[in-house]
Amino acid sequence: MSLFGSLTTAISGLTAQSRALGHVSDNVANSQTIGFKRTDTNFVNYLTHSSNSAHMPGAVIARPDYTNGIQGIIEQSEEPLAMAIGGQGFFSVAAARGVVNGRPVFDDRQFFTRAGDFRLDKDGYMVNGSGYYLQGWPSDQAGNPDRTTLEPIQVTQQVFNPIATSRIELAANLPADPTAGPVRTQAQVYDSLGRRFTVDLDFTPVTGTPNAWDLNLRVPGNVGGAAAEDRGTVRVVFNSNAAPPIGDGTIADIFDAGAAGTITPPASNAPRDPAELSFTADFGQGPQTIRLNLGAFGVAQGLTQYAGREFAVRNLAQDGVPLGSYAGLTMRETGDVVVNYDNGQSRVIARVPLVAFSDPDKLQRLDGQAFMRTVESGEARVTDPSSNGVGKLITGSVERSNVDIANEFTKLIVAQRAYTANTRIVSASDEMLQDTINMRR
C-alpha cells in the first residue's frame, strides 16, 4: 500500500507543479498587460493517515493565490483619458452584449477592472483596451454628480449654448488731476443668441465740482435707433470728507445725474455696500438687464480716483459667452469628466467613482483583466476617489502588470526541479513495485 501511495503522491506532485508552471506561464505572458494581476501558487497538503506511530503518503494540490490587491507600477501615458488607481480601488465598467439600432446594449451585471487605458470610441463612450465601458455618476448642469445612478459615460459633441451678459465688472483709476478731460472705455457684451455688442462707458469730470465724474452709458445697436442708444447718465462722487469717513479716492456716492435713461443707481451708499448700478439693453431679443459693478463704497477696489493724468483700466470683464463648439475632453483627479469648448467654457458631464471590496483577492476573474463580485469578496463600496480607502485617481497614467519577471523565472526553476524530483519518485516506486512482482519467480 505504501508503494502505491508513494506513486500516487508523486503523481499529485507532478500535477501540482504543472499547475504552478501554468501560473508562471500566464504571469510571464501577461507581464506587459495593463492592469493584469499575477497569480501565485499556494500548495496544500492532504493526508491519508498520520499519527504518532504511523504516517501514510497523502497528496498535494496547487491552488491559485491571487494578488488582486497588490499595486502594479504606475506609468505615464500619452492618452489624456488614461487613468490609474493609487490604492485598493477598482473602476466600475460595463460590457456590451450586442448592438440595437446602432447603439450598444449593456450587460446587466456589474464588472470591475484596474485597466485604465480608456479612450473615446466612435459613439463617444470611454472604452479601455479590453472593450469594457467606463461607468460613472452623471452630473447635472451645475456639475453635481447623481450618486444614485451608475451608467456608461458617453461624451456628446454638443455645442455650449450662448449666455447673455448680465454683469460687467470694471476696475480702473480715474485721474485725480483737475485738468483731466473726458475718458472712454468699452465693454463687450453678448445677447441671448451669442452675438457680440459693445457698451461705451464715457467718464466726464464735472465742472466746478471736484472729485465728481458723470458716467454716460451708450449701447450701439440697441433697438430704437440712435436716440435709444443713450442709456442715461449717473454721477460718481469720490469724497474724502464723507460721514462716516471713508478712504481717500474711493467711491462715496452714485446718483442719477438728471438725464433721461434706464440706469438704476445703487439703493444704498453705505461703506462696503456694492457700488453697482443696472441698465437695460435690447438687441432684438427683448430687454436684457445688465448690472455694472464698480466695486464698493469706501473701499479701494473697482473704480478709484488717485493721482495721475491717464485713465488706467485694471480689469474689465463680463459674464456672457458666445456659442461654443466641442474642443476636447479632460479628466480631473477628483474623477470629474470635463468637456471643454472653444469659447473658453467647460462643463462637467460625469464623475468617475472608485469601488472597493473587503477582500479583493476573492473576486472572480474574467477575460480582459475584469472581475466580478463574489460572496467571499464582500459588497462593492462605490465612493468618490481619495475617500473611504479606495485610493486616489492618477490621470494621464496607466497601471502596469504587477508581475516581476525575475521572480517568475525563479519560481519557474523551482517548479521545474520539483517536477523532475517527482518523476524520480515515480520511477523509483515503479522499480520497487516491479521488484516486488518479480519476487514470485
Q: What is the mean pLDDT of residues 15-33?
A: 94
**Alpha carbon of residue 436 to chain centroid:** 74
SS3 194: coil
Beta bridge partners of 46: 59
- As given in the structure block, the three cell numbers for residue 167 are 454683469
Lowest mean pLDDT, pick from 30-34, 201-205, 319-323, 428-432: 428-432
Q: How far apart are the first and last CA of the chain?
A: 21
Q: In whole angstroms, give the CA distance from residue 36 to residue 114.
A: 8
- As given in the structure block, the three cell numbers for residue 186 are 468699452
Spell out the residues 6+ positions from residue 169 whose beta carbon is closer than 8 angstroms to its own: 293, 302, 315, 316, 317, 318
Q: Is the pLDDT of residue 1 over 60?
A: no
Q: Is the pLDDT of residue 94 over 90?
A: yes
Q: Is the pLDDT of residue 234 over 60?
A: yes
- Structural domains of the chain, with CATH: 2-67+402-438 (no CATH), 74-154+350-399 (no CATH), 167-318 (2.60.98.20)
Q: Is the pLDDT of residue 364 over 60?
A: yes
- pLDDT in the model for residue 102: 80
- pLDDT in the model for residue 214: 92
pLDDT in tens, 262-310: 788 998 888 899 999 999 999 988 899 999 999 999 988 899 998 877 8
- pLDDT in the model for residue 240: 63
Angle in degrees, CA 57, 61, 66, rounded to 5: 150
Q: Which pTM does this prediction carry?
A: 0.78
Residue 378: pLDDT band with limits 50, 70, 90: very high
User: Nearest 10 degrees: CA dihedral of 410, 412, 418, 423?
Assistant: -150
- pLDDT in the model for residue 186: 94
